[in-house]
């Protein structure tokens, strides 16, 4: 069969198999299902289903001869019905769009501080979040990055942080940090706080079995759950949520003073 012709018939709105069956029937004239199946290269059962579909589209008719059902492709001019159907579908879609426009326009009037929440899955997802954090650092001179986390989780996932006992990108950006952490090694950050442009406070893990890591930077709150085979990250972008989390952080910071 002429593959280019089949492709051109497909472009009018038929599937590849429908186009093959129609062209095969057009070549054969009135023919039985098996003949059309052989000519089109499609299984008999599938060919029969397609022929019934083409009958519904007005592209094929069926007759009986000697108690045998024959199918006959209608004039190719009938293919214009497919284009008419496409035109009608476009008109319907345009009408649907007109109905949707007021609803879509109303979205722009939603409160600007409505939280935008994004979920990230797997190692690559966490790395994507890390890039977002770095972008925030570049535009946050003078802002203090707040965080709390389990150092074992963080160091295992981010070896570059473990090596320098600080986020090297944050240090390089000149952004100060206040960090609450648990660690089986005790208050290990105390000696490197000054060189890391950081204030840190240790929290006993046996009292507060914290997991993962939380960062507050500008209007973004980043929650990382780093254990297991499928680490997960959540980024919430909301000024009001960030303010609330900052208040909770400050409360925890003050309470942690008893351990430092």
- Considering Cα of 133, then 138, then 139, then 144, what sign does the dihedral take? positive
Does the pLDDT of residue 112 top 80, yes or no? no
Does the pLDDT of residue 110 top 70, yes or no? no
Q: ∠ CA 156-132-167 to the nearest 5 degrees? A: 40
pLDDT tier at 108 (50, 70, 90 boundaries)? low
pLDDT attached to residue 169: 81
The CA distance from 216 to 247, in Å, is 11
pLDDT tier at 30 (50, 70, 90 boundaries)? very high
Mean local confidence (pLDDT), 175-198: 91
Averaged pLDDT score across all residues of the chain: 88
The CA distance from 243 to 249, in Å, is 10
pLDDT attached to residue 142: 67
Does the pLDDT of residue 41 top 80, yes or no? yes
pLDDT tier at 8 (50, 70, 90 boundaries)? very high
Does the pLDDT of residue 113 top 80, yes or no? no
pLDDT attached to residue 70: 94
Does the pLDDT of residue 165 top 70, yes or no? yes
Q: How many CB atoms lie within 10 A of CB 55?
A: 14
pLDDT attached to residue 140: 63
Does the pLDDT of residue 115 top 90, yes or no? no
Q: Give how far Cα 144 sits from Cα of 14, 56, 106, 112, 220, Å.
A: 60, 68, 36, 23, 13
Percent of the chain beyond pLDDT 90?
A: 52
Going from the N-terminus, what domains does the chain have, and what CATH number goes with each?
Answer: 3-77 (1.10.10.10), 116-259 (3.30.870.10)
pLDDT tier at 114 (50, 70, 90 boundaries)? low
Phi, psi for residue 234 in degrees, rounded to 5: -130, 130
Higher pLDDT, 47 or 103: 47
pLDDT attached to residue 175: 84
pLDDT attached to residue 246: 95
Mean local confidence (pLDDT), 132-140: 70
First to last CA, the chain: 82
pLDDT attached to residue 85: 85
Mean local confidence (pLDDT), 167-172: 84
Give residue-wise pLDDT tens across range 188-242.
Answer: 998 899 999 999 999 998 888 889 999 998 888 999 999 888 899 999 989 899 9
The CA distance from 120 to 223, in Å, is 10
């Amino acid at each position: 069969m002429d593959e280019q012709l089949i492709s051109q018939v497909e472009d009018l709105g038929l599937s590849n198999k429908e186009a093959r069956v129609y062209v095969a029937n057009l070549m054969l004239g009135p023919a039985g299902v098996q003949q059309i199946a052989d000519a089109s290269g499609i299984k008999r059962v599938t060919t029969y289903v397609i022929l019934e579909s083409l009958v519904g589209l007005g592209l094929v008719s069926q007759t009986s001869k000697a108690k045998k059902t024959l199918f006959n492709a209608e004039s190719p001019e009938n293919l214009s019905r497919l284009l008419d159907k496409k035109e009608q579908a476009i008109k319907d879609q345009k009408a649907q769009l007109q109905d949707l426009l007021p609803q879509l326009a109303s979205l722009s009037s939603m409160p600007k501080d409505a939280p935008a929440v994004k979920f990230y899955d797997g190692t690559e997802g966490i790395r994507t979040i890390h890039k977002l954090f770095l972008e925030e650092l570049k535009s946050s001179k003078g802002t203090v990055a707040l965080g709390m986390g389990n150092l074992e989780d963080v160091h295992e996932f981010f070896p570059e942080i473990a090596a320098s006992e600080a986020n090297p990108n944050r240090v390089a950006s000149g952004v100060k940090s206040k960090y609450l952490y648990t660690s089986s090694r005790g208050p290990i950050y105390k000696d490197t706080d000054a060189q890391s442009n950081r204030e840190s406070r240790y929290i006993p893990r046996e009292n507060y079995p914290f997991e993962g890591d939380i960062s507050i930077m500008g209007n973004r709150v980043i929650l990382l759950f780093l254990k297991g085979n499928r680490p997960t990250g959540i980024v919430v972008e909301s000024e009001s949520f960030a303010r609330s989390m900052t208040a909770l952080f400050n409360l925890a910071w003050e309470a942690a003073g008893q351990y430092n």
